[in-house]
Homo-oligomer: A and B are copies of this chain.
Amino acid sequence: MTVTAPAGFRSAGIAVGLKSTGKPDLALVVNDGPRRASAAVFTSNRAQANPIIWSRKVVAGGTARAIVLNSGGANCFTGEFGYETTRLTAEAVAAALTAEGSVDDASEAVDAERILVCSTGLIGSGDQTFRDRIVDNVPALAAALAADDATAPAAILTTDSVEKTAVRERDGWTIGAMAKGAGMLAPGLATMLVVITTDAVLDDAQLDRALRAATGRSFDRLDSDGCMSTNDQVTLLASGASGVAADEDVFAAVLAEICDDLSAQLQGDAEGASHDIDIEVLGAASEAEAVEVGRSVARNNLFKAAIFGNDPNWGRVLAAIGTTDAAFDPYAVDVSFNGVRLCHAGGPDRPVEECDLTPRRTHVRIELFAGEAAATIRTNDLTHDYVHENSAYSS
């Protein structure tokens, strides 16, 4: 159990033919209450898919009743027809929940505008077949809902090779989560769909604060390939079913753990990668500058290709950070690879032969000596497999 580990939730995942492989591609997570608090963060890309446009309205309008997610099609740049598909999907879910006897707090039916929608897959896909496969199968999806479900996480995957899930228990409440994401991983957010559930008693504002803090230091610092998606959404739903009012700080800390854990799982499954690279920036004048410096290295193709070749090319690190506006003296910087300081004060230090880059986990430490702030950016190397997957697979 993942998103149903907290009390008050049911979920399901089924195959409706959106994926050519016949694998599960439609998931639903329902908050059965008694409370229905929620929060969400969305891609900062100005080109936004139809489900993002829809879900923003749901979040702005009040608390969410359920979230329906499909893989096998992003429903992005599909025009008015695509937006209608999203709306019809939400209506089908609302109708199915109403049919099973669920009602909204203040009405006799579940309102479609309380249903969040997420889509992931090929951009541009969104024809009549795509719509019908989703809408016609929502009743079957609702019928499969279960409080001990294990099928939802697989139904949101695209090029992912493994399911990404996390669960934490604390003080009488639980957080559960599922995520998808393997490419187009750059922040604000990475290409990811994440659903996080909890049975803690918290209101919308508390959830929103905790979620923004947690994603800002986790998913927003995952930058696998510098490419920002059109469909990203991280959603947090709270049922209050534990009856326990969580301490807000404790909840925020556990939620941050969950998001950090999922970020590492996304990094570890990035398309074609052979190294998971953590770029730790220390001694920055501000946290924002630490992030800027780390990101400049994470997005440098020459650096990323060097790591693929097990070459601890610190010159490319300095050349990358020289392009930023961060406070530092290029000739006072130290750079270490996997614990070996190869560059001191902007010049050569230990011999590069002392550094072993063959392990998948790679740690680059950059000391700017310009202040006290720090940040770590997660990225991956640039490999033949990355080029292959993204030239042969249209997404």
Q: Contact between A347 and B78 (Cβ–Cβ < 8 Å)?
A: yes
Q: Please state if B384 and A47 are interface contacts (CB–CB under 8 Å).
A: no
Binds B, one of A141-149, A169-177, A226-234: A226-234
Q: Which of B46, B301, B322 contacts A230 (CB 8 A)?
A: B322
| Cα A176 to Cα B348 with chains together (Å) | 38
Residues of B within 8 Å of A330, CB to CB, are 46-48
Q: Report B-chain residues with C-beta under 8 Å of the C-beta of A78.
A: 347-348
What is the count of identical protomers in the complex? 2
Q: Contact mask A38-69 → B, CB, 8 Å, 1/0?
A: 00000011111000000000000000000000
Main secondary structure of the interface of A (DSSP, over half): loop
Pairwise interchain contact B322-A391, C-beta atoms closer than 8 A: no
Please, how many angstroms separate the alpha-carbon atoms of A124 and B225 in the complex? 27
Measured in the bound complex, the distance between the Cα atoms of B390 and A226 in whole Å is 18
B319–A230 touching, CB < 8 Å = yes
A residues 296-311 near B (Cβ < 8 Å) are: 299-302, 305-306, 308-309, 311
Give A323 Cβ to nearest chain B Cβ, in Å.
5
Q: When A46-B330, A77-B318, A301-B227 are in contact, do A384 and B390 touch as well, CB less than 8 Å?
A: no
Chain B residues with CB under 8 Å of A364's CB are: none
- C-alpha gap A349/B123 in the complex (Å): 14
Asked if A339 lies at the interface with its beta carbon under 8 angstroms from chain B, I say: no
Q: Note all chain B residues with C-beta closer than 8 A to A196.
A: none
Within 8 A of B (CB), among A372-395: 382-384, 386-388, 390-392, 394-395
Cβ–Cβ contact A387 & B227, under 8 A: no
- Contact of A387 with B382 in the complex, beta carbons under 8 Å: yes
Asked if A8 is at the interface (CB within 8 A of a chain B CB), the reply is no
User: Are B319 and A228 touching (Cβ within 8 A)?
Assistant: yes
Within 8 Å by CB of A305, from B306, B318, B320, B391, lies B391
Number of interface residues of A (CB under 8 A): 59
Using a CB-CB cutoff of 8 Å, which residues 317-347 of chain A contact chain B? 318-324, 330-331, 343, 345-347
Chain B residues within 8 Å of A324, by CB? 46
A184 near B: Cβ within 8 Å? yes
Give the residue of B308, B321, B331, B347 whose beta carbon is less than 8 angstroms from that of A387.
Answer: B308
Bound-state Cα–Cα, A330 to B49, Å = 10
Interface 1/0s, chain A 199-233, versus B by CB < 8 A? 00000000000000000000000000111111000
Chain B residues near A323: list those with CB within 8 A.
44-46, 228
A362 contacts the other chain (CB 8 A): no
Assuming A300-B226, A319-B227, A322-B45, is B79 touching A347 (CB within 8 A)? yes
How far in angstroms is the closest Cβ of chain B from A211? 22
- Quick check: A124 and B319 within 8 Å, CB to CB? no
Decide if A299 touches B226 in the complex (CB within 8 Å). Answer: yes
Q: Which chain A residues (121-169) contact chain B, with CB distance < 8 Å?
A: 122-124
- Please list 17 pairs of residues, one from A and one from B, whose beta carbons are closer than 8 Å in the complex, sorted by A's number: A45-B322, A47-B319, A48-B322, A77-B347, A79-B345, A79-B346, A227-B301, A227-B302, A228-B322, A299-B299, A302-B390, A305-B390, A305-B391, A306-B391, A309-B390, A309-B392, A387-B387
Q: Which 4 A-B pairs have the closest CB atoms?
A: A47-B322, A309-B391, A123-B315, A305-B390
Contacts A45-B319, A384-B388 known; 18 new A-B pairs at CB < 8 A: A45-B323, A46-B324, A47-B318, A78-B347, A123-B318, A183-B302, A184-B302, A226-B299, A227-B320, A228-B323, A230-B322, A305-B387, A309-B390, A309-B392, A311-B394, A382-B387, A382-B390, A383-B387
